[in-house]
Chain A
Amino acid sequence: MTESANNEDLVMVQTYEIEAGNFTLAGEAASNIKKLLRQLGIDAKIVRKVSIAAYEAELNMVIHSLGGIMRLEITPKEIVLKARDDGPGIEDIELAMQEGYSTATELARELGFGAGMGLPNIKRCSDKLHLQSKLGQGTYLEARFFL
């Protein structure tokens, strides 16, 4: 879905609904984001970083959350990726950020997820990462990529 821009700086906004537990559709939003950035002519290196981050954030929502919304904002200076979900939240963010830490279920592990590399990867790819979470309420992730 495309929203027209309201903020002066804000040039383009796209939102994607992410369904919890749906592995068939998992990765679709990230793939659409990649295609979009490419059509806009964004530099290949940045496209790669944004799409890796979007993919990891999307999969975390599919695997660990109750579902939510991912939002992509493009301004002349930066690309901002926002992922907000409806819970259950992360108990210890510092721990979750550590490489190798994972609470993925057996099913997710069988599908090849659960290496505990997703969040560290997002951090590595983005220029700025903000992560906040409240148990029982949900998680909000915001990653910025400077153009």
Chain B
Amino acid sequence: MQTYYHSVTLDKEKCMGCTNCIKRCPTEAIRVRDGKAHIIAERCIDCGECIRVCPYHAKVAVTDPLTSINRFKYKIALPAPSLYGQFKKLASIEKVLQGLLALGFDYVFEVARGAEFATEFIKYRMKDQHLERPIISSACPAIVRLIQVRFPELIPNLIDVESPMEIAAQMAKNEFSKKYGVDKKDIGAFFITPCAAKMTSIRNPIGIYKSSVDGAISILDIYGPLSTVMGNGSLSNGQEFLQKATAVGVGWAKSGGEGRSLDIDNYLAVDGIINVIKVLEEIENGKLYDLDFFEGLACIGGCLGGPLVFENNFVAQNRLKKLIAKMEPHELISSDEIEQAINQCEWKWNKEILPKPVMKLDDDIFSAIKKMEELERIYADLPGLDCGSCGAHSCRTLAEDIVRGHASELDCIIKFREKVRILAQEMIELSDHIPTGKERKPNDKEEKDENKRNYQKYTR
């Protein structure tokens, strides 16, 4: 079995074992054991829900530091369109892109531009009538992983087109190496990311063997340095104009941006992982068979609501809306360019997406059934409060953990109390029979009865 890389990790020092995160995890991937949270690697989809909910900031997303770009001779920045929504009174997107150059990058290629090509590839791919409907967007890696873990039956519905980030990285490297005649090996492409899930996708790609992206820097980390250099920069003479993406690509930062770009009426866009789960259940039940395209984004509001952004989601939504409204309707991608890209770019997945059957109790169906019966028996015996004190998501999850051998019934606080009470009772009863010998004082029994009454009061 491969080991899983995850961007989302626990800062053990900060974790108080409070169990806030357990309930919010959509794949039941967190357990609190010995007073600290643990993430079950096979189950985690890097959605970032636990980062948002942890009151002690003990859940963190590991991304690359800005200095890591110096590993490469030539450095390209790939800003996510959600970056544009972070700045107050931004005069133009160009300012952000020039700021990235001032920070030490040699070139900037907008992921929004990658999204425009992705749009064309998806349109092209959707002409295939054999694809299972509704076609499901694969833009949000947290949702693709959610499908692998919780909705494996829907894997065939995923659109097999690479993400805007991957497409942007490929095109940027091609462009740069051609223009300056440098070896692609010397170029590093760095995604400026709103989320942990994308970081994980670079190390652990989905649908492809190796990512073209070399690292990811979080928007949170780059916001400070970038705002500083953005203030004093103006276009120096002869400098190239970097902004090429149109409103179509920039719109992908918001929920519904992808669906809108596809020029189809019959699409549904949903944001927030809980909402997405509800709709995926409907699709799984065959209820949405007349839908053409489903876009689900793990974060509320889409990538602008990502766990690693600086600005409040709703404020950023509003800013991006204004920026888009101001954008001049400049040239879209020409059909020649599209055809060229379809032929030259590796835009289609070449590695199968496999289900992650983490819910499976055993490889052998007979043993699985035995365990299932055991699970039901244990579950029926648990209090059913779903209180989370045992460190598991619900009583049922605890029963599952017990059957898998990872927990014991006594992890349940109610069960534990019951057991203590029974033991205490037995001890008291036993103590009545303590061989007294010669030294027994006459008032001993009375004193003990008093103790017994007090103890019962205490344990009630």
Contact = CB atoms under 8 A, between A and B. Distances in A.
Interface of A: 2, 4, 11-12, 27, 30-31, 34-36, 38-42, 44-45, 47-48, 51-52, 55-56, 74, 76, 112, 121
5 contacts: A39-B360, A39-B368, A40-B361, A40-B369, A51-B284
Contacts of A45: 153
A18 B284 CA distance: 21
Contacts of A2: 372-373, 376-377
A38 B155 CA distance: 15
A33 to B, nearest CB: 11
A39 B400 CA distance: 10
A41 B155 contact: no
Interface in B273-315: 281, 284-287
B26 interface: no
B225 interface: no
A58 to B, nearest CB: 10
A55 B288 CA distance: 14
Given A35-B359, A52-B286, A40 B155 contact: no
B363 interface: yes
B456 to A, nearest CB: 36
A38 B360 contact: yes
Contacts of B153: 44-45, 47-48, 51
Contacts, number: 65
B175 interface: no
Given A36-B372, A38-B359, A39-B360, A44 B286 contact: no
A109 to B, nearest CB: 14
B285 A27 contact: yes
Given A27-B285, A38-B359, A39-B360, A76 B365 contact: yes
Contact of B373 (A4, A34, A47, A112): A4
A51 B366 CA distance: 21
Contact of A55 (B286, B365, B375): B286
Secondary structure at the B interface, as helix, strand, loop or mixed, is helix
A31 B281 CA distance: 9
A123 B76 CA distance: 55
A41 B284 contact: no
B372 A39 contact: yes
Interface of B: 152-153, 155, 281, 284-287, 355, 357, 359-363, 365-366, 368-369, 372-373, 375-377, 400
A27 B278 CA distance: 12
B362 A41 contact: yes
A40 B285 contact: no
Contacts of A76: 365-366
B281 A41 contact: no
A74 B285 contact: no
Contact of B365 (A34, A40, A51): A40
B361 A41 contact: yes
A16 to B, nearest CB: 13
Contact of A44 (B355, B372, B375): B355
Contacts of A30: 285
A145 to B, nearest CB: 14
Contacts of A74: 369
Contacts of A112: 287
Contacts of B355: 44
Contacts of B155: 44
Contacts of A55: 285-286
B353 to A, nearest CB: 12
A85 to B, nearest CB: 20
A106 B152 CA distance: 35
Given A11-B366, A38-B360, A45-B153, A121 B372 contact: no
Residue from the set A39, A47, A52, A56 with the largest chain B CB neighbour count within 10 Å? A39
A27 B281 CA distance: 10
Contact of A121 (B284, B286, B362, B368): B286
A51 B151 CA distance: 12
A36 B152 CA distance: 14
A41 B365 contact: yes
A47 B153 CA distance: 8
B163 to A, nearest CB: 24
Most buried by A among B285, B368, B373: B285
Contacts of B357: 38, 41
B42 to A, nearest CB: 14
Nearest to A74: B369
Among all A-B residue pairs, the 5 with the closest Cβ atoms: A48-B153, A41-B360, A44-B152, A52-B286, A55-B285
B403 to A, nearest CB: 10
Contacts of B287: 112
B372 A40 contact: yes
A48 B360 contact: no
B407 to A, nearest CB: 16
B378 to A, nearest CB: 12
Contacts of A38: 152, 357, 359-360
